């Protein structure tokens, strides 16, 4: 092993590796502190050629390796659990090309999502992917997990934003697929195999991304509602009123708002009276679309019809940012409140009210007093179906129920025709459970792809693709 590590160090040079425990430490624990790992070596390649050399050595010597972007993943996919070598994409951080007329951008995998957004904005263009962790997550990690975020309703998942990829295969072969074409029917669309594969089929080193015109008008509202049923009805109304210009529709319960205003400095309840549920909604468009009037008129009609109890529309960019902060701070507020059990699930939008009616009491039967914090992207059916401990602070006994709660929730998700992972991926957290919810035929196809692209199983072993044994 020592000889292999020396070869890997030589492949990247003195600036391209570290064995300093202090530098390794933040790479070995994920954001929530749920998963911790070990690694003998952190590799920091600065070029695709260096990544290629690393993987060629690892494949030849059958040395397992885990690729990590911004380390913001929530299912443990980026953590080396069994002393694997760790490859960070942080130094692959160049913007390679921008085509304003074609509205495309080519960036390397280590550029942060915020950096991608800014590069597009500098050309008065929009890269629509938006996540709470956008300041630290990387575009390579977003691609590897097929990240979702708050604007999927209008623009789709990360998959929809990728025109081309540069990928290094397990044996070091570089697949140069950095085409910026919107139409290319020349055989299999290979790039799609790597999007959402969580680093198990290859290492993404660069991406050609699709950009959009920068919206000239943004209208953001915050509405109080009596129930999830009312929220689904409001979604339909606002979509009909604004057409394709509704870009976000986020739901949160009163408890989530209480936690945010309790723990996050500079936040406050924007409405006078309390309500069981809230929706943050946003529409964007051109300056001549008369969008603000349409948006406010539709919300006003919903209030008149008692579908909405109260609402506020941001009068400035600063007010809009304050409303968004309420939604984007929920995860951080939950963390500060104490122990929580979390799920990233999706069900058909129309089924969300019925799912909540069944799933919340089902969990509370397992953990009496568990506090439901069900929030997320109602517009595309993705809920972060979370529960905080009945009490603040740490609660090991509550967290010990994680597996039992997760099985209960995921079984209900399956009954409703949903998915146990909407946008976070499978990683290590859900890999053992995947055969319970995915057909044998699908899993066998996944295993066949893994065997074809990574026959020595060196890439992120033990993640995403379940072993042959079936539940």
* CA 20-23-26 angle, 5° bins: 135
pLDDT at residue 1 in the model = 83
pLDDT at 471 over 70: no
* Of the candidate ranges 76-80, 285-289, 316-320, the one whose mean pLDDT is the lowest: 285-289
At 260, give phi and psi (nearest 5°): -65, -50
Reported as a pLDDT band with limits 50, 70 and 90, residue 325 is very high
Which among 382, 365, 376 is positioned nearest to 334, based on CA atoms? 376
Task: Extract the tokens encoding 427.
Answer: 């990683």
Which among 171, 200, 199 is positioned nearest to 60, based on CA atoms? 171
Distance CA 274, CA 336 (A): 23
Reported as a pLDDT band with limits 50, 70 and 90, residue 33 is confident
Distance CA 182, CA 40 (A): 42
* Of the candidate ranges 9-23, 92-106, 457-471, the one whose mean pLDDT is the lowest: 457-471
Instruction: Quick: pLDDT tens for 168-196.
Output: 999 999 999 999 999 999 999 999 999 99
Specify the residue for token string 């590590």. Answer: 5
Going from N- to C-terminal start, the domains of the chain cover 2-88, 102-213, 217-331, 338-415
Distance CA 200, CA 198 (A): 6
Listed in sequence order, the residues at least 6 apart from 52 whose beta carbon sits closer than 8 Å to its beta carbon are 168, 172, 173, 174
3-state secondary structure of 313: strand
Instruction: Quick: pLDDT tens for 110-131.
Output: 999 999 999 999 999 999 999 9
- The percent of residues in the chain predicted with pLDDT above 70, rounded, is 99
* DSSP at 57: H
DSSP character string of 93-145:
--EEEEETTTTEEEEETTSBHHHHHHHHHHTTEE-----TTTTT-BHHHHHHH
- The percent of residues in the chain predicted with pLDDT above 90, rounded, is 96
Same fold, 217-331 and 338-415: yes
Q: 102-213 belongs to which CATH class?
A: alpha beta
Q: How many CB atoms lie within 10 A of CB 32?
A: 13
Q: 338-415 belongs to which CATH class?
A: alpha beta
Across the range 372-385, mean pLDDT stands at 97
Distance CA 239, CA 145 (A): 28
Decide: 101 and 111 in contact? Cβ < 8 Å. no
3-state secondary structure of 375: strand
Decide: 291 and 285 in contact? Cβ < 8 Å. yes
* CA 118-200-405 angle, 5° bins: 90
Listed in sequence order, the residues at least 6 apart from 195 whose beta carbon sits closer than 8 Å to its beta carbon are 143, 144, 146, 158, 159, 162, 165
pLDDT at residue 289 in the model = 79
3-state secondary structure of 220: strand
Distance CA 46, CA 12 (A): 8
Strand partners, 313: 221
* CA 320-307-269 angle, 5° bins: 35
pLDDT at 470 over 60: no
* Of the candidate ranges 28-32, 299-303, 338-342, 452-456, the one whose mean pLDDT is the lowest: 28-32
Distance CA 407, CA 359 (A): 11
CA distances (Å), origin 413, targets 61, 190, 343, 351, 368:
42, 30, 11, 10, 21
Distance CA 104, CA 210 (A): 5
What radius of gyration do the chain's Cα atoms show? Answer: 23
Which among 50, 27, 47 is positioned nearest to 37, based on CA atoms? 27
CATH of 2-88, one of 3.40.50.150, 3.40.50.300, 3.30.1360.120, 3.30.43.10: 3.30.43.10
Q: Return mean pLDDT, the chain.
A: 96
Spatial strand order of the sheet with 162-168 comes to: 95-99, 104-108, 203-210, 162-168, 174-177
Instruction: Quick: pLDDT tens for 425-434.
Output: 999 999 999 9
Reported as a pLDDT band with limits 50, 70 and 90, residue 162 is very high
Task: Extract the tokens encoding 336.
Answer: 């500060």
pLDDT at 338 over 90: yes
Decide: 427 and 75 in contact? Cβ < 8 Å. yes
Specify whether domain 217-331 bears CATH 3.55.50.30: no
Task: Extract the tokens encoding 306.
Answer: 């008692």
Buried b (16+ CB within 10 A) or exposed e, 293-328: ebbeebbeebeeeebbbbbbbbeeeeebebbbebbb
Task: Extract the tokens encoding 7.
Answer: 């070869």
pLDDT at residue 469 in the model = 61
């Amino acid at each position: 092993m020592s000889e292999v590590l020396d070869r890997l160090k030589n492949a990247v040079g003195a600036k391209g590796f570290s064995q300093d425990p202090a530098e390794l430490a933040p790479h070995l624990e994920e954001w929530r502190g749920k998963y911790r790992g070990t690694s003998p070596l952190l590799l920091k390649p600065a070029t695709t050629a260096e990544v290629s050399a690393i993987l060629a050595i690892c494949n030849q010597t059958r040395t397992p390796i885990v690729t990590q972007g911004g380390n913001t993943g929530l299912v443990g996919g980026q953590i080396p659990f069994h002393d694997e070598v760790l490859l960070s994409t942080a130094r692959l951080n160049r913007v390679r090309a921008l085509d304003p007329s074609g509205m495309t951008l080519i960036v390397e995998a280590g550029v942060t999502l915020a950096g991608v957004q800014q590069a597009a904005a500098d050309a008065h263009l929009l890269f629509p992917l938006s996540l709470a962790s956008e300041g630290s997550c990387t575009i390579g990690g977003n691609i590897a997990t097929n990240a979702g975020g708050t604007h999927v309703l209008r623009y789709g998942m990360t998959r929809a934003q990728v025109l081309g990829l540069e990928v290094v295969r397990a044996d070091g072969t570089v697949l140069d697929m950095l085409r910026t074409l919107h139409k290319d029917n020349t055989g299999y669309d290979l790039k799609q195999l790597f999007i959402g594969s969580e680093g198990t089929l290859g290492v993404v080193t660069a991406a050609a991304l699709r950009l959009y015109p920068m919206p000239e008008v943004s209208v953001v509202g915050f509405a109080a509602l009596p129930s999830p049923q009312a929220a689904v009805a409001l979604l339909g109304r606002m979509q009909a009123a604004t057409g394709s210009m509704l870009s976000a529709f986020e739901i949160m319960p009163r408890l989530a708002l209480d936690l945010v205003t309790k723990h996050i400095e500079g936040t406050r309840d924007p409405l006078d009276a309390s309500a069981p549920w809230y929706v943050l909604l946003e529409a964007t468009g051109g300056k001549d679309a008369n969008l603000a009037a349409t948006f406010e008129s539709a919300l006003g009609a919903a209030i008149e019809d008692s579908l909405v109890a109260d609402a506020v529309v941001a009068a400035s960019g600063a007010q809009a940012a304050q409303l968004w902060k309420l939604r984007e701070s929920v995860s951080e507020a939950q963390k500060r409140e104490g122990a929580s059990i979390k799920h990233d699930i999706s069900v058909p939008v129309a089924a969300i009210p019925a799912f909540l009616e069944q799933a919340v009491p089902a969990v509370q039967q397992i953990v009496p007093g568990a506090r439901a914090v069900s929030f997320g992207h109602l517009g595309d059916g993705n809920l972060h179906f979370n529960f905080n401990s009945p009490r603040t602070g740490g609660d090991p006994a509550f967290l010990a129920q994680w597996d039992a709660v997760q099985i209960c929730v995921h079984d209900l998700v399956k009954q409703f025709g949903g998915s146990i992972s909407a946008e976070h991926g499978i990683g290590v957290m859900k890999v053992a459970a995947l055969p319970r919810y995915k057909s044998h035929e699908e899993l066998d196809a996944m295993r066949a792809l893994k065997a074809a692209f990574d026959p020595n199983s060196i890439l992120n072993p033990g993640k995403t693709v379940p072993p042959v044994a079936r539940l």
